[in-house]
Structure 1
Amino acid sequence: KVSNLQGSLQIINWIVGLFVDIFRSIPFIILIVLILPITMKLAGTIIGPGAALPSLIISASPFYARMVESYFREVDAGVIEAAESMGASTWEVIMKVLLPESKPALIAGATVTTISLIGYTAMAGAIGAGGLGNLAYQDGFQASNNTVTLVATVIICLFVFIVQFIGDWFVRITDKRTR
């Protein structure tokens, strides 16, 4: 029964991995257009901030999922084996070994994902989602006002710097190797 379960889990892992890789490879601006029918059903509109959410979630989730998988693989197999030999269940290995051991990497990955989402949000502004991307595109680029585009870009960069600083700070305080 155990080998059947492992075989089933491997198939599920392969299918989920394929799904993740497909959605990670689609450029965000194309993804927005591809899922417009789904967005219309979920948000009731294809314009505005609410309409940007489905594409933001669908683009960020596979990206972060693949990073989490790689962080979990980096946890020393000896630590996992030690926990299992002391009778830890799969759930306990996840909660008491994998998550704590990979916490700094998970935070760093969340920081990178958040920064990607800032960029994606700015792109979504080009299709009417509002925000600084919309300002830069409509009032800057389309109106040939380079100052507006530049100021919006600088503000977006400042947001990125702040998120990176906060993420790096959390990584430092959670990384047991730097304490």
Structure 2
Amino acid sequence: MALHFVLRSSCRNSAPIFNTIINSGKLPMVSRSLTSTVPKSFLGTPKAVTTLIGGPVRQFTATAVRRSATGNHVTVWSAERALALGMLGIIPVGLMFPSQAGDAIMAVSMVMHFHWGLEAIVVDYVRPILFGNVIPKLAQGMLLVVSVATLGGLFYFIHNDIGIANSIRKIWATKPKA
């Protein structure tokens, strides 16, 4: 039960129940081993639990976690995994049977895969708490510009040159000069 409360401790937008646990006499598992050496009157206050656990009292809940304002991340994560799994078939088929349609599908899937991966890096490491509100938005915008430019460049290469699959085949077919 205590593990459930600890795992849910990151949700700050729900009703706190920590004081209810303290007032009912039930302590988290962390401090149960110490209860035999501490008088019962000492355990009844939040300050005592703070001292007993060794850190500030954190409020936590057992209610469901709210979805963020930016959307459902589970759906995006599932789409990323589906794309990565689909690329296991798209790339070999696109290379075995070169065509403009196959090259376009490879280009879109590769750019989406790279964009989502780099977006995760930007979101994780360029946080507003570290850089303010402007720089993370600029980083997201620059990532979008780079992704669109990459996709545009690949489409230009597909339609005005030999394409992705044929260029890779050509690279593999050349023998290095000794």
Pair in the same fold by TM > 0.5:
no
TM-score scaled to structure 1, two decimals? 0.36
Which of the two has greater helix per residue? 1
The structure with the largest alpha-carbon Rg is 2
TM-score scaled to structure 2, two decimals? 0.36
